[in-house]
């Protein structure tokens, strides 16, 4: 197992390094920088701008700036923000916690809905319930994430059932423990719903296809002949047999929901990475942008690594292939 995990970790590390190089290259070579607007201010002397560029090492060659940035990453700083005049990592960590809370909740909820729906659809393949689920997922699949988020936001404004923005109420600090959880849940309802609805069609279709492929396997027909109840047959035998592609999809879905959550956060004013990165992009605060891209890549790699661990644990064929000869 150690060799298998080390190989997967090395792949993830190479991916993160490659993404960091591309992100650093594209953001630093983009036209304009944070100090361009300062040149238009007659109260700021040109010497001050030169000193600021030197302070943030913008006057150095690109390879040296990248190596300096890597050094700051190793020291837990991830560069310095122009706007906040401080290390990028603490600024991102505060908001990354909120994004992870939203993404993990939506991922678990989406899979909790997709598994029984997909299995039920596969078990009734071609019949009316399967067609209803297929039409519903096809309809959700063609609706853009932005339209879903805006529709839910309009619903929140019209009905006043749930808060329309933010993560907590103004009086959150004075609430008791259970009321804090309730307040947080109310603020999360529509952002999580938007993420779940955007991810659900793809998950249901994959679960349906994977389970339908194994439903007529000989071992399932033999188990059914022994009188095993249908529900146990589906969840105890069919689902594990179809688990390999679904586990790979699980890792991918974390990254997909994370990228989708950035847009949802902006629309619904959730204080996560989305609004923070948008603000940094508009201000050309490049080290925050690079740090946000790197965080997203790490989350995606972590999701896929988790899927690899689950595959290794559930599939004896992978353990046999990775065992030393």
- pLDDT at 127 (0 to 100): 84
Instruction: Judge whether residue 227 has pLDDT over 80.
Output: no
Q: pLDDT of 236-276, one tens digit each?
A: 777 777 777 787 777 777 777 777 788 888 888 888 888 88
- Model confidence at 4, pLDDT cuts 50, 70, 90, reads low
- pLDDT at 176 (0 to 100): 76
Q: Which two tokens stand for residue 130?
A: 């399967």
269 by DSSP, 3-state: which? coil
Contact 112, 223 (CB under 8 A): no
pTM of the model: 0.78
Instruction: Judge whether residue 1 has pLDDT over 70.
Output: no
When pLDDT is averaged across residues 143-168 and rounded to a whole number, the result is 80
- How many Cβ atoms are within 10 Å of 69's Cβ, its own excluded? 23
Q: Which residues pair with 81 in a beta bridge?
A: 86
The DSSP output letter for 174 is: G
When pLDDT is averaged across residues 163-174 and rounded to a whole number, the result is 74
When pLDDT is averaged across residues 216-227 and rounded to a whole number, the result is 75
- Model confidence at 319, pLDDT cuts 50, 70, 90, reads low
Instruction: Judge whether residue 230 has pLDDT over 80.
Output: no
> Which of 7-16, 76-85, 175-184, 307-316 is least confident?
307-316
- pLDDT at 232 (0 to 100): 77
Name 63's Cβ contacts closer than 8 Å, sequence gap at least 6: none
- pLDDT at 317 (0 to 100): 63
Count of all residues that appear for the chain in the document: 325
- What phi, psi does 323 have (nearest 5°)? -70, 145
Q: For tokens 């047999």, name the residue.
A: 241
- pLDDT at 322 (0 to 100): 54
């Amino acid at each position: 197992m150690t060799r298998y995990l080390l190989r997967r970790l090395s792949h993830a590390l190479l991916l993160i390094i490659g993404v960091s190089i591309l992100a650093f290259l594209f953001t630093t070579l983009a036209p304009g920088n944070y100090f361009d607007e300062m040149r238009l201010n007659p109260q700021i002397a040109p010497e001050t701008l030169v000193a600021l560029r030197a302070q943030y090492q913008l006057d150095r060659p690109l390879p040296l700036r990248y190596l300096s940035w890597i050094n700051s990453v190793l020291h837990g700083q991830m560069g310095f923000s122009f706007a906040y005049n401080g290390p990028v990592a603490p600024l991102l960590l505060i908001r990354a916690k909120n994004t992870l809370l939203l993404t993990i909740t939506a991922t678990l909820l989406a899979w909790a809905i997709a598994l029984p729906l997909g299995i039920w659809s596969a078990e009734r393949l071609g019949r009316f319930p399967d067609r209803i689920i297929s039409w519903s997922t096809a309809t959700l699949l063609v609706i853009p994430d932005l339209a879903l988020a805006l529709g839910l936001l309009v619903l929140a404004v019209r009905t006043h059932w749930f808060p329309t923005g933010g993560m907590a109420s103004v009086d959150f600090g004075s609430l008791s423990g259970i009321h804090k959880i309730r307040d947080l849940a109310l603020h999360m309802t529509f952002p999580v719903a938007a993420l779940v609805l955007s991810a659900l069609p793809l998950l249901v279709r994959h679960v349906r296809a994977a389970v339908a492929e194994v439903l007529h396997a000989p071992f399932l027909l033999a188990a059914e002949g022994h009188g095993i109840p249908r529900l146990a047959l589906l969840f105890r035998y069919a689902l594990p047999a179809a688990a390999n592609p679904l586990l790979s999809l699980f890792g991918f879905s974390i990254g997909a929901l994370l990228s989708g959550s950035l847009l949802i956060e902006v629309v619904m004013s959730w204080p996560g990475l989305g609004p923070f990165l948008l603000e940094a992009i508009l201000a050309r605060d490049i080290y925050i942008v690079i740090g946000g891209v790197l965080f997203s890549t790490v989350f995606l790699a972590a999701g896929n690594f988790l899927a690899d661990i689950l595959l290794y644990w559930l599939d004896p064929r992978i353990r046999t292939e990775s065992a030393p000869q």
